Chain A
Amino acid sequence: METIIKPNTITEKVLKLIESNFSTLIEGSEKDNAIKAFVSQGVPSRKHEEYKYVNVDQILKDDFVLATQKNISKEQIEHLKILKGAFIAVIVNGVFNEELSQLNNLPKGLIISSISSAAENNKLIFEKHYSRYAEINTDSFVALNTSLAKSGVFINVEKSVIVETPIHIIHVSSANENIIINPRNLIVVDENAQAKIIESYETIDSSSKIFNNALTEIVVCENSIVDHYKIQDENEFGYLLNTTQVVQQKKSLFSTHTFTLSGSLVRNNLNIVLDGEHIETHLNGLYLTNGNQVVDTHTVVDHRKPNCNSNELYKGIIEGKSSATFNGKIFVRKDAQKTNAFQSNKNILLSDDGTINTKPQLEIYADDVKCSHGTSTGKLDADKIFYLRARGLSEASAKKLLMHAFASEVVNTIKIEALREYVEEKITKRFE
């Protein structure tokens, strides 16, 4: 393999891992291209504009190995099953685990399987969609995932099938030495179909760093409706780099909700391409940070065709020495007339040592559009606290109430009731 530029030492380290890895989902020239793309971009340092506020390269400086199979019992993950009746697909250390999953009685027209078996059994769909959307040449972690990915979940909802039961993908990791894992999911929701998908990221029983470079590609076909949730609740060993690449076809509706509750580092790359007319997109997010956590959310909403709407709301509460970054881009391409795009980011900074960085961006090349973004950062409103205290609440409970109210705007967008209760409970615990 020829290298374009001389990789730095961290990139070289990771490259050695790639070279020691076999039987990936794609082989041959496509894999070579991914490796080349990774090497030419390297592991981004803080000098990289998109990685300005997060030092991923510092984490990868340590020695890591590729994840190996890990035995986890059913009991160990019982508490991670948020929804009792859901179809559950479990990924352990990046590898789909059929035994732990609950995929009995799938309705007709719904396929949930490991992605490697889909590559054989659902060849047509796999080849049409796999690695067609996430861009290896502009994001080195996409390139890394593409060159390393061996396993993950494949979901296909066939034409006109409406799946009422939520589908829950549990990513659970556990390690006693530093590991890198690269799960890769592909979700294709065909024309007129509907699905509710939850992805959760958890760590159990660990004593070493887990670098989870997870990538999910979602194809939302014409007229379909997809409701997508992410619950990121790893422990202090979890370093999560989570890319979600979505492509929407005309008249589709896609809503995504990201809840970042814990984890040492969470970097979200959420890219949504609106590739058709009359599309509606909702992006909601809530991040609660504490301790030395770093949470960095990058979203890109790419309006390529006219007459589409997008609406984005991200909120954060920052405590301790943690740092939170929100970077939201809205592109409106030349032809995307009559676009309505809104974006809002609100933060509360509660501690002396916390940091908030926000960078809402608009890049607009069409004139008949309505686009706006707003961001605000502040403390809890003293007047509001006074109001509550005047009514007999203690200062602590007044603050708690206000934080709840602040978070509820995002929490209330959850349409699955059991999930909403779960998230609410988590938040309540957090504010205790």
Chain B
Amino acid sequence: MANEILEEQIGGEYKYGFVTDIEADNAPKGLNEDIIHFISKKKNEPEWMLEYRLKAFRYWLTLEEPHWAHVSYTKPNFQDIIYYSAPKQQKKLGSLDEVDPELLKTFEKLGISIEEQKRLSGVESRIAVDIVMDSVSVKTTFKETLSEAGIIFCSFGEAVQEHPDLVKKYMGSVVPYTDNFYAALNSAVFTDGSFCYIPKGVRCPMELSTYFRINASGTGQFERTLLIADEDAYVSYLEGCTAPQRDENQLHAAVVEIITHKNAEVKYSTVQNWYPGDKNGKGGIFNFVTKRGICLEENGKISWTQVETGSAVTWKYPSVILKGNNSVGEFYSVAVTNNYQQADTGTKMIHIGKNTRSTIISKGISAGFSNNSYRGLVRVSKGATNARNFSQCDSLLMGDKCGAHTFPYIEIKDKTAIVEHEATTSKIGEDQLFYCKQRGIDTEKAIGLIVNGYCKEVLNKLPMEFAVEAQKLLAVSLEGSVG
């Protein structure tokens, strides 16, 4: 019985699998220095940027693809990827009316309002969005309102043109191109992304958001996000993503860097819903992302919240380097895998400063034939007096063909540190289900209820607009997957 419902639900459709027929400007397939010159030229980049890319590329050539993650996939052929694909547009856009209507329709279908309007009726809740389709940023909304507060929020390409000093100063300072294989690749070929700078003492008046969409076939998406919160600044940042349904595996290798100065706080939320592949595990996005933040000065705070439901293979560890004294790092994650999805995700908390604190709450849910791993590192360096960490990693198994794994690394070199780690693995209890059913709640809804309760600690951390979306997403991904 359980299996029947499961089978039925495994057929659940990916809602965002359509393709927009939009004319695109593509680079030829393959990766070499010419392509990097091509991308750099397309973006009209200054010389230093090109040099950075070339340095990264030459370094990348010396690297081998890493194998340590608990995932297995066919290695992407890096020569068979289009590294630059931009929806064709003739001139710089002045207003929304000039945006290709096909493009607008795409985002409407995705449920993302590109227009500057109230999101939820009756609630004054506005979100500024930077929309990245394939390789380029299409449109950033609310730019003017934000710039009044001194906030810079624009595409990465624009930032390179208009704020080169900031980009030069911070880019690669948290994730250097030497960091890992995919960070090096990204540094060489990244095409666009979002850039955000919150000046001293400014509390960003609205949620900032980037929406990523892969559209073109045969391409890889390589974007970069750079977020800087100066002294006493605050920003809450959201990120969402979808891709069309295709048989091929498309590569998404992004880099996100966050820097907080004294007393600054950044909250970064992700709802990752790349196409996960069909029920036989064919197709889907390879999501190999390097995300890292650094609390440079004292009292900084960086908080990562992620809801991971998509991608064929996910391989990412949003991390925080707690360098400043009294800084705080947080990681809240829900990772759901179904069918043949594989996820190896977690975080790194590096305690360097004194009185630094970190919290890790990770909830994994595996169903179908999927494998879901938590991999995390908590490191307390010598001299990180009174560092404190609490980690909790729970896994929920639905069905007997999936796997749930925990690989925490804890390295402590300071005697004043207090570090705790707990992990549990279990399934949805028959008694829990029975309790709900006895009260007239059917199996489907009962599971939804239990799963939502299980993830509550994390979902509560999401901004309201996202929490609603995330809950729906969870329901779609898991309905009926009776354990």
Query: Which A residues fall within an 8 A CB radius of B?
Result: 49, 334, 337, 347, 349-379
Contact = CB atoms under 8 A, between A and B. Distances in A.
A378 B418 contact: yes
B34 interface: no
5 contacts: A349-B414, A359-B410, A361-B405, A362-B406, A367-B399
Contacts of A371: 424-426
Contacts of B413: 353-356
A361 B407 contact: yes
Given A355-B412, A362-B405, A376 B417 contact: no
A337 to B, nearest CB: 7
A361 B421 contact: no
Q: Interface majority SS on B: helix, strand, loop or mixed?
A: strand
B425 A352 contact: no
Contacts of A374: 420-423
Contacts of A367: 397-400, 402, 427, 483
A367 B364 CA distance: 13
Q: Which 7 A-B pairs have the closest CB atoms?
A: A367-B397, A378-B418, A372-B424, A371-B425, A356-B412, A362-B406, A349-B415
B425 A362 contact: yes
Given A357-B412, A369-B397, A370-B424, 5 more contacts: A352-B414, A364-B397, A365-B402, A367-B400, A379-B415
A48 B402 CA distance: 28
Contacts of A351: 415
Nearest to A348: B415
B408 interface: yes
Q: Interface majority SS on A: helix, strand, loop or mixed?
A: strand
A324 to B, nearest CB: 10
Contact of A370 (B398, B401, B408, B426): B426
B403 interface: yes
Interface string B414-441: 1111111111111100000000000000
A360 B406 CA distance: 8
Contacts of A362: 395, 404-406, 423, 425
Nearest to B423: A373
B404 to A, nearest CB: 5
Contacts of A352: 382, 414-415
B425 A372 contact: yes
Contacts of B405: 361-364
A352 B406 CA distance: 29
B68 interface: yes
Most buried by A among B406, B420, B426: B406
Nearest to B401: A334
A289 B59 CA distance: 42
Contacts of B415: 349-352, 354, 379
Interface in B145-174: none
Contacts of A375: 408, 410, 419-421
B78 interface: no
Given A337-B400, A367-B400, A369-B426, A359 B407 contact: yes
A363 B403 contact: yes
Nearest to B70: A363
B23 interface: no
A143 B420 CA distance: 37
A353 to B, nearest CB: 8
B52 interface: no
